[in-house]
Amino acid sequence: MEHDQDVIVIGGGIAGLTAAALLAHAGTRVTLLEAHHQLGGCAGTFRRGPYTFDVGATQVAGFEVGGSHARIFRHLQLPLPAAEQLDPGCVVDLADGSDPIRIWHEPTRWHQERLRQFPGSERFWALCAWLHRHNWSFAEQDPVLPVRSGWDLQRTLQAVGLGTLASAPFSLMTVADLLRLTGCAQQQRLRRFLDLQLRLYSQEPCERTAALYGATVLQMVQAPLGLWHLQGSMQVLSEQLAGAVRRDGGTIQLRQRVTQLERCDADGWRVHSQHPDGRRQSLHCNELISSLPPQCLPALTPMPEGYKQRINRLKAPSGALVLYGAVNRDCLPADCPAHLQRDGQDPGSLFVSISRDGDGRAPKGQATVIASVFTDPDRWVDLSETEHQERKASALQKMCSTLEHWLGFPSDAWNHVELSTPRAFAHWTGRPQGIVGGLGQHPSRFGPFGLASRTPMPDLWLCGDSIYPGEGTAGVSLSALMACQQLMAARGQSLTLR
């Protein structure tokens, strides 16, 4: 079966949905193909009895005025989903007996917290604020990075200001370099805090996180920016975007796993996909946007040898173990925040998200508890099923014990508990080895040095968490916007957010 489309978008996570919604709103005939039975990708959800669990992402940025989601939703004439601004955005326990660090939304309050927690570090924070201010001013103009064409260069030069030029020498530095420049390199407690926070957003510790990226994500909680907890679940974000795709004439096909991308001799692409029941289809399109991890592409289509080698060398730094649990709310500390982080060696540093009463994730008087820890996906690939189950059970026991001790509830308080490993993420998301996030925001992979959305194959574009500006729902939305703007420009048309 073969049909003609203007554009096919592969992958129904936030990046793919944003791309499809923007193109449909611009009057393009667009079809989105998603292998899973629901949309959302790593920002999706699943249910267990009365509980709704966010699969991966548990918070969003970009809802503030001028933020990425706010701009895109306004352009699409969509209301932003109901959300609570997080304050504190996160509470970080270094497990060293000291007071936990509360990352406040109000800048003055966060400044006072820093003075108390990290005395002598203000030169570092001032440099981060300066870099963030200029980096953000540049990013707000929707530059195209890395530059791969004259049009890309023109768009990027339009975004460059004096502040961009002044901050350019920092583009090859890491956050650890900023610590050294400001005389804070010996502040081990500050370093531990930065490593914990940066791993969440960049997949890398401060020694390997690009300075320009790190300086911005360290400011994400503070006004005028902020982090948000969605009412209902993370799924509402994808539902809103899917509604816009359909409203504007786009098509969404679920349970269609792409098996081959074939470049047509004349022009365009033929996309082959298969339904779980064995039915196959072939769709022809003029242009193609892929939001899949780029590591998936060599198995789907021939490509220039140099580009293929580069893709095959890409290795994401992390997989994740994720505990999905539920307890009675009165088992938790009275002032328990929505997001917590705790340092540790075994099973590792935990990031914990706890539902709010009445937010739709658990019955009244109960709370969902989602705890994740990074792991090397290679450790889970070649295990036999018996070995996998044994290692999984051991990790679950350690994570449960850590949470019980940390949050102060007994081991019989769990109303529900299960663990997902990289093997499960690989099965449900199709991500190689069950990797989470993108490629890691090392200086060699960030901004002008990263993987471009414009590929060497004609009419094939990339978006997602491996493409500038990076990870999180806000970042992947901007990568989708960039790919769509390039695609429309290649047609001689423009796509500008209202």
- Among 250, 222, 234, residue whose Cα is nearest residue 81: 234
Contact 457, 261 (CB under 8 A): no
Largest CA distance in the chain: 67
Q: What confidence score (pLDDT) does residue 1 get?
A: 46
Q: What confidence score (pLDDT) does residue 211 get?
A: 97
User: Which ranges in 328-384 belong to alpha helices (H)?
Assistant: 378-381
Q: Is the bond into 224 cis (omega within 30 degrees of 0)?
A: yes
User: Which ranges in 229-279 belong to alpha helices (H)?
Assistant: 235-247
Confidence band for 95, pLDDT divided at 50, 70 and 90:
very high
Question: Which residue type occupies 130?
Answer: W
Query: Quick check: do 2-49+57-82+232-301+457-490 and 319-434 share a fold?
Result: no
Mean of the per-residue pLDDT values for the chain?
94
Res. 4: pLDDT tops 80:
no
> Any bridge partners for residue 224, and if so which?
none
Q: Cα(403)–Cα(399) distance, rounded to whole angstroms?
A: 6
pLDDT per position as a tens digit, 343-373: 998 889 999 999 999 999 999 999 999 999 9
Contact 215, 360 (CB under 8 A): no
> Any bridge partners for residue 251, and if so which?
31
Mean pLDDT of 163-180: 96
Q: What confidence score (pLDDT) does residue 3 get?
A: 57
Between the alpha carbon of residue 126 and those of residues 133, 178, 370, 457, the distances in Å are 11, 11, 34, 43
pLDDT per position as a tens digit, 284-343: 999 999 999 999 999 999 999 999 999 999 887 789 999 999 999 999 998 899 999 999
The CATH number assigned to the domain with range 319-434 reads: 3.90.660
Q: Cα(439)–Cα(204) distance, rounded to whole angstroms?
A: 9
Q: Cα(16)–Cα(480) distance, rounded to whole angstroms?
A: 7
Residues near 386 by Cβ (< 8 Å), separated by ≥ 6? none
Q: What confidence score (pLDDT) does residue 163 get?
A: 92
Helices 14-25/472-490 angle, 10° precision: 40
Q: Which two tokens stand for residue 3?
A: 């049909």
Q: Is the bond into 146 cis (omega within 30 degrees of 0)?
A: yes
Helix, strand or coil, per DSSP, at residue 269: strand
Mean pLDDT of 229-245: 96
Q: What confidence score (pLDDT) does residue 60 get?
A: 95
Percent of the chain residues past pLDDT 90, beyond the cut: 87
Q: What confidence score (pLDDT) does residue 244 get?
A: 98
Q: Cα(323)–Cα(318) distance, rounded to whole angstroms?
A: 16
Contact 113, 101 (CB under 8 A): yes
Confidence band for 422, pLDDT divided at 50, 70 and 90:
very high
* Annotated domain spans of the chain: 2-49+57-82+232-301+457-490, 87-225, 319-434
Its CATH architecture, for the domain 2-49+57-82+232-301+457-490, is 3-Layer(bba) Sandwich (3.50)
Could you give phi then psi for residue 282, rounded to 5 degrees? Answer: -135, 120
pLDDT per position as a tens digit, 16-64: 999 999 999 999 999 999 999 999 988 899 999 999 999 988 999 999 9
Q: What is the pTM of this model?
A: 0.95
